[in-house]
Amino acid sequence: MAKLKIEDLKKIKEMVHAETALRDGFKRVKVTVHMGTCGIASGAKEVMDSLMSEIEEAAVSDVMVTTSGCMGLCSREPLVTVEIIDQEPIKYEYVNPNKMRQIFKRHILEGEIQTPFVLARGAEVVK
């Protein structure tokens, strides 16, 4: 395969545009991986990596991934918040790549909250 060039992004742009026209760019789920010093040190990057590859494998385009800082519960990191539209956010604690894959398949795709890993419901008050 030929070496990638920045210009190759044009193709991606066209592809994304075509897809967005079809589906309105609608995001059904927002997943936040907490990336403070504490999160990073306890493996949040590996969690994020596994989430990204799950999304790629499942070829879904309605899941949005983002990061946030520390929320003060460093001892329970890595933390992941799953927000499905019109539902209360769910916070998962002590997440690792395996748990992340399970959360993705069962909760994000099928809507079944993975109770054993849940820390809390609802959003935190930021900073």
Partner 1 sequence: MLELALHILDIAENSVRAGAKTVFIDITEDRMRDRLEIEIRDDGAGMDEATLKKAMDPFYTSKKVRRVGLGLPMLAEAAERAGGSFTIESRKGMGTRVAVGFQLSHIDRQPLGDLSGAFMVLLAGNADVDFVCRHQCGGRVFTLDTREIRKEIGDIPLNHMEVLKFIRQYMMEGLNEIGTEARISHHFEGGYDT
- Give the footprint of partner 1 on this chain (CB under 8 A): 1, 3-4, 6-10, 12-13, 15-17, 33, 35-38, 40-41, 45, 48-49, 52-53, 55-56, 61, 65-72, 74, 127
C-beta of 115: minimal distance to partner 1 in Å? Answer: 26
**Cβ closest to partner 1, residue 48 vs residue 103:** 48
**Cβ closest to partner 1, residue 115 vs residue 127:** 127
Rounded distance between C-alpha atoms, residue 15 and residue 111, angstroms: 29
C-beta of 72: minimal distance to partner 1 in Å? Answer: 3
Rounded distance between C-alpha atoms, residue 20 and residue 42, angstroms: 36
**Cβ closest to partner 1, residue 33 vs residue 90:** 33
C-beta of 17: minimal distance to partner 1 in Å? Answer: 8
What is the end-to-end Cα distance of the chain in Å, rounded? 47
C-beta of 65: minimal distance to partner 1 in Å? Answer: 5
Rounded distance between C-alpha atoms, residue 74 and residue 34, angstroms: 10
Rounded distance between C-alpha atoms, residue 61 and residue 78, angstroms: 24
Other CB atoms within a 10 A radius of the CB of residue 106 amount to 13
SS3 72: coil
